Amino acid sequence: MIKIKDEEFHYLVDYLKANYGINLINKRVLLEGRLGNYLHERGFTDYTGYIKAVINDKSGKEITHLLNSVTTNHTYFMRESDHFDYFRTKVLPLLEENTRDRDLRIWCAASSSGEEPYTLAMILHDYFANRIPHWDKKLLATDLSLKVLEQARNGIYSEDSIKDIPDTWKRKYFQPCGKGYVQVVPAIKSEVIYRQFNLMDPIKFKKPYQVVFCRNVMIYFDAPTKAQLVERIYDSMCPGGFLFIGHTESLARPTRFNYIMPSVYQKGGGA
């Protein structure tokens, strides 16, 4: 395996942090473990040549591979299920009562392979099934990785991966797709819009969001980067909007968000 030199390691760490917010200063072994074989297969003799190839590759394939290699897109249906319970029983009734234009704007800011946004889409479909007039309730789901976004758009999952969802959902929202696999039905897939987005970029959406799920991604960021991201998310939300983060995450004080419960926060000034 090709060993990374100190200067190469620090350059690569600084590059990833400056451009993508990912802090790997304590992940030297991970970097070598996940990239070593790839460098050998591509014919690189050191990390210097590889780093130059990443920076100079106009197609974006090399940086995409690098980002896919150093981040872990681990998720599953109903992960941290109390969030979904709170969203269904507390947040949606509040939004229904206070949203005059019947336009719900929900952003999954680190959507990975689609389990989170599809879970939210199923909740929304159930909740608003009998509401007349109908609501606009599409979700924006973004991720840095093109690989997982493609998986999400396909909406194909193993039967085992949906074992924790309600049986009614299994019958209603999934269809067989080859032995041992199921696919999200078109009615749910059409409710989710997938886009690539770098959380280090300015957040400039047409309208502010009432709900943001940004779960289990800020673990890759150092404290200043995380604080800056939280500020940008706050500014992108409606007054009274809700922010959900991962159970292992928390917002540093002071923050403009109001604390609701562990890993759930609310922007002041609204419902």
CB 23 within 8 A of CB 15: no
What is the tens place of the pLDDT at every residue in 222-247? 889 999 999 999 999 999 999 999 98
Contacts of 67 (CB under 8 A, 6+ apart): 20, 22, 144, 145
Strands 258-261 and 264-266, bridge-based pairing: antiparallel
Does the pTM of the predicted model rise above 0.85? Answer: no
Domain spans, the chain: 6-70, 81-266
For 81-266, give the CATH class: alpha beta
Reported as a single tens digit per residue, the pLDDT across 142-161 is: 998 888 899 999 999 999 88
- Domain 6-70 and domain 81-266, same fold? Reply is no
- For the domain covering 6-70, report its CATH number: 1.10.155
Q: Residue 51, CB half-sphere, CA atoms under 13 Å: how many?
A: 16
How many angstroms separate the CA atoms of 212 and 214, rounded? 6
Rounded Cα–Cα distance for residues 255 and 203 (Å): 18
